[in-house]
Amino acid sequence: MITSDYSNFAEKITLNSNNEKNDDFKNKFSSIVLEEKPKLKKPPLYKVIMLNDDYTPMEFVVEMLQSYFSKSQEQATEIMLHIHQKGLGICGLYTYEIAESKATLVLEKARKNQHPLQIKLEKE
C-alpha cells in the first residue's frame, strides 16, 4: 500500500469543484490511498504420471483413475490401456501439494494390495 500526500492535487480538484463545500472536499481528498495491483502469480503445475508394470491388475489402475483423478470409467480405461501399451501415461495436472497427495494416496492403496505400481511427478 502506498500512501502519498496529494494535497496539491486536492487543491486543483478543489478549484474545479464549483466552490461548494470546498473545505470538506479538500479534507476528504488531501490524502489518497493507492492500492497496489495484487501480484497474483499462478502456481506451477505438476503432471501425475503413472508407470506400467507387469503385475498391477488393470482393474485396480482403472479404479484408482476413477477414484482419485475424477475420470469416468471410459476415460480411466483409455488412460490405463495407454499406460499398458506405451509404458506411462498422465493421470492429471495439479499444484504440487495436490499432485503429491493424490500420488501418496494411490501408492498407499497399491502397497496395501501388494501391487508394485509406480507414480512420478513432473513439472509442466
Can you give the binding site for ligand TYC, defined by CB under 6 A? 50-54, 56-58, 61, 80, 83-84, 117
C-beta of 98: minimal distance to ligand TYC in Å?
20
Distance separating alpha carbons of residues 53 and 41, to the nearest angstrom: 38
Going by C-alpha positions, the residue among 67, 59, 70 that lies closest to residue 117 is: 59
Strand partners, 95: 45
C-beta of 4: minimal distance to ligand TYC in Å?
59
C-beta of 101: minimal distance to ligand TYC in Å?
19
Answer for the pair 64, 106: CB distance below 8 angstroms, yes or no: yes
Which residue number, 63 or 100, has a Cβ lying nearer to ligand TYC?
Answer: 63
